[in-house]
Structure 1
Amino acid sequence: MNDLISIPCVLMRGGTSKGPFFLASDLPSDPARRDEILLSVMGSGHPLQIDGIGGGNPVTSKVAIVGPASVPGADVDYLFAQVRIDQQLVDTSPNCGNMLAAVGPFAIEAGLVPAKGPATLVRIHNVNSRQLIEAEVPTPNGKVSYLGDASIDGVPGRAAPIALTFLDAANRMDEMFPTGEANETIDDVNVTLIDCAMPMMIVRAEDLGVTGYESAAALSANAALLERLERLRVAAGGRMGLGDVRDRVIPKPVLLAPAVHGGHVSARYFMPHDCHPSLATTGAVGIATSLIVADTVSARLAGLQVAPAVIGIEHPMGHIDVKLQERDGRIVAGILRTARRLFEGCVFAKPTTRMVHAA
């Protein structure tokens, strides 16, 4: 088999991320074959991803796979894949809340969910984290609308608002803190190891010799900092029950500093070997939730907050607000994002090793 493989695809921006969206039925069900195709599509193994559609940055080397729901109470399944840039690796262990913002619009336009009224509620089962998220998508006249007056820091212009509600963001404390501790020490550094929307290791920036106000580019270029963060992250992964995380993108390291622009805290979020240009949605949810738990690094730094509350988190490109409130006896997290459909058609992949052998 020598011909390229044609696969239907929609390129979408979700929040501050961008990547191809696929229907699950258009990709192989075997994870190994699927991942080989994704690596080819994205052009991984080259820093510019020159032989694929990846953008040479972790926020533009992401893939969303959407299909019918496999669990009760959901409308669709959403599997997120972080495709490494310079390595032939696909990691489906994390979630991505920014790409999540485009799942609802994609599902409606793909015919998986019917539009209902001026706004359509899409209940999304994130396969990676096994969590449920509600997305409220503007659908005036029975069609998805991408135009509006909402804006988010890190994306130019304005667009239609998409409200995301993480229903399982803060459920049981014993699940939120895998080690059972809100604050502990790794190599004489105080950390909070939290699994809330995304497994993260939260550290006070000054404890690692930086201010926490540096630009994302400056932190990504700080080799000594990245090396120390990686040592801490690998140790944190072991403590959190994630095993050997050297080839995985979780847990995510987060550096915190006092807020300087009216928010509650300033954050620098790593992916994990580059600093995010703004802030991951799931990271924002985890940071905000950590502020309502006593003795976390976050609460010690910024003061303990009490839900209901709107938590403001400052990041390199501005800020993001997370609304924490109680619903049915548990804390849920709401956040505003936007999305846009950029291109639709077919993407071409090289035949996978398994396909070539089979032929």
Structure 2
Amino acid sequence: MSGQQIAIPCVYMRGGTSKAVYLMGKDLPPPGEKRNNILMRIMGSPDLTEIDGMGGAQIVTSKLAVIDPPSRPDADVDYTFGQAEIDHPHIDYDANCGNISSAVGPFAIDSGLVKVKEPVTRVRIHNTNTGKVFIADVPVVNGEVAIQGDFSIAGVPGTGARIDLDYSGTSGAVTGKCLPTGNATDTLTLESGKTIEVTVFDAGNLGIFAKAEDLGVTCHESKQELDENQLVLDSVREIRGKAAQMIGMCDRWQDIDKVSPLLPLVILAKEPESKNEDLRIRMFLLNKCHPALAGTGSVCTSSSGAVPGTIVNQLATIASPEEYTLRIMHPQGIMPLHVASRSVSGQLWPEFLKIQYGRTARKIMSGQVYIPNVEY
């Protein structure tokens, strides 16, 4: 290629409470080091400001989505999520993002990858990070993705058209089973000698649940307050590492940030405080408090409530474990999810029939992103 810069087609979209650069795989080199270097250059990472790229310098904006034709017959598109780390040169593919997932369906429709059907176009999305398929039901008006509507989500101003996502097919997304330890709860002993009861649960993404009160957290704190509480952050990192070590993700718990920076997530949970909520949480990603609640973190949280004895099942208001709506209070408001399941003989966790939540998404910009024409 000649010229000072390389132009790469892209679309910049908000999905739920996150934003990402969406690209077609055909416009990039094959997966590997060269692709990763180009993606990092697009985002402007590593740099704490990401001033020379599209990243936005936040966990919820330093994200990418690569879309390809389906590689399996039960999907309409393949979707690969990448988290561009801000402080060091790495694109993490270990997990999916449930918020960025919500704009994959609209992107696929706008790109002509799926046949449009009104009033709702169902898009079956194969997430290559986890090897699981989830469903997006996208509203369509006059042949194009509907944007305007009266649905609101905590953490995004205004309203939009509701996109329903069903993650019931994502059980065991990371480890292959919902309860990787085989137990509803396990006990971790911290270096201080303190013991912590945790649930290790895997649906949508891999999460570690602990009672907020065990770490002195009230679930009224802001993200900034928790990010400035080094004692809490150190405890979260240790819980994350020791739970990961327990299920074989790392040999030494201290190495978890090198081995797997993104997963497992850590969710601190507390019982509800009003009739308008069913559970309070603070979620930690990359050892920082999430400003709201990750979509896949909400899937993991809500579905774990269907299993007797888990941390969420102990604390949440759940009328019937077979079918319920869980209203999760996070730092920016409430996120409701609908869960339906049926028990499986000889198995601690059920078969999930529905793990559904609503999001809004919107195309912000489409065009080309430019990166310097150097050897990547």
Q: Same fold (TM over 0.5)?
A: yes
* TM-aligned CA deviation for residue 306 of structure 1: 1.1
| Paired residues of 1:170 and 1:289 also in contact (CA < 8 A) | no
The residue type paired with residue 293 of structure 2 is L
Alignment equivalent of 2:368, drawn from 333, 343, 346? 346
Residue equivalent to 1:287: 301
Distance (Å, rounded) in 2 between the aligned partners of 1:166 and 1:72: 18
Unaligned segments of structure 2, at least 5 residues:
190-194, 344-350
Distance (Å, rounded) in 1 between the aligned partners of 2:238 and 2:363: 39
SS in 2 for 1:245: helix
SS in 2 for 1:344: strand
Residue equivalent to 2:266: 253
Residue equivalent to 2:136: 135
| Paired residues of 1:131 and 1:167 also in contact (CA < 8 A) | no
Distance (Å, rounded) in 2 between the aligned partners of 1:171 and 1:98: 19
Alignment equivalent of 1:195, drawn from 178, 202, 215? 202
Residue equivalent to 1:300: 314
SS in 1 for 2:232: helix
Alignment equivalent of 2:336, drawn from 321, 324, 335? 321
| Paired residues of 1:169 and 1:285 also in contact (CA < 8 A) | no
| Paired residues of 1:37 and 1:350 also in contact (CA < 8 A) | no
SS in 2 for 1:5: strand
Distance (Å, rounded) in 2 between the aligned partners of 1:4 and 1:181: 54
The answer to whether 1:222 aligns with 2:229 is yes
Distance (Å, rounded) in 2 between the aligned partners of 1:273 and 1:171: 23
Alignment equivalent of 1:272, drawn from 286, 289, 295? 286
Distance (Å, rounded) in 1 between the aligned partners of 2:307 and 2:293: 21
Distance (Å, rounded) in 2 between the aligned partners of 1:12 and 1:249: 22
* TM-aligned CA deviation for residue 124 of structure 1: 0.4
Unaligned segments of structure 1, at least 5 residues:
none
Distance (Å, rounded) in 2 between the aligned partners of 1:85 and 1:12: 19
Rate the CA distance shift 1:326–1:209 in 2: closer, same or farther, 3 A: closer
Rate the CA distance shift 1:327–1:11 in 2: closer, same or farther, 3 A: farther
Residue equivalent to 1:242: 249
* TM-aligned CA deviation for residue 138 of structure 1: 1.1
Residue equivalent to 1:178: 180
| Paired residues of 1:195 and 1:286 also in contact (CA < 8 A) | yes
| Paired residues of 2:134 and 2:170 also in contact (CA < 8 A) | no
The answer to whether 1:8 aligns with 2:19 is no
Alignment equivalent of 2:326, drawn from 293, 296, 311? 311
| Paired residues of 1:322 and 1:335 also in contact (CA < 8 A) | yes
The residue type paired with residue 187 of structure 2 is T
SS in 1 for 2:118: coil
| Paired residues of 1:171 and 1:330 also in contact (CA < 8 A) | no
The residue type paired with residue 371 of structure 2 is A
| Paired residues of 1:226 and 1:273 also in contact (CA < 8 A) | yes
| Paired residues of 1:21 and 1:63 also in contact (CA < 8 A) | yes
Residue equivalent to 1:21: 22
The residue type paired with residue 300 of structure 1 is Q
| Paired residues of 1:166 and 1:334 also in contact (CA < 8 A) | yes
| Paired residues of 2:164 and 2:359 also in contact (CA < 8 A) | yes
Distance (Å, rounded) in 2 between the aligned partners of 1:174 and 1:62: 25
The residue type paired with residue 228 of structure 1 is S
| Paired residues of 1:82 and 1:90 also in contact (CA < 8 A) | yes
The residue type paired with residue 107 of structure 1 is A
Superposed CA offset, 1:77-108 (max 9, x none): 11001111111111000110100000000001
* TM-aligned CA deviation for residue 271 of structure 1: 1.2
Rate the CA distance shift 1:313–1:21 in 2: closer, same or farther, 3 A: same
* TM-aligned CA deviation for residue 327 of structure 1: 8.2
Indicate the percent of aligned positions where both proteins have the same amino acid. Answer: 39
* Alignment RMSD (CA, Å): 2.0
* TM-aligned CA deviation for residue 177 of structure 1: 1.1
Residue equivalent to 2:152: 151
The residue type paired with residue 256 of structure 1 is A
Within a 5 Å distance, the mapping from 1:37-186 to structure 2 comes to: 37-170=38-171, 175-186=177-188
Name whichever of 164-173 and 174-183 sits farther off: 164-173
SS in 2 for 1:30: coil
Distance (Å, rounded) in 1 between the aligned partners of 2:31 and 2:170: 30
> Matched residue pairs, number?
354
Distance (Å, rounded) in 2 between the aligned partners of 1:251 and 1:171: 13
Name whichever of 190-199 and 293-302 sits farther off: 293-302
Distance (Å, rounded) in 2 between the aligned partners of 1:312 and 1:330: 18
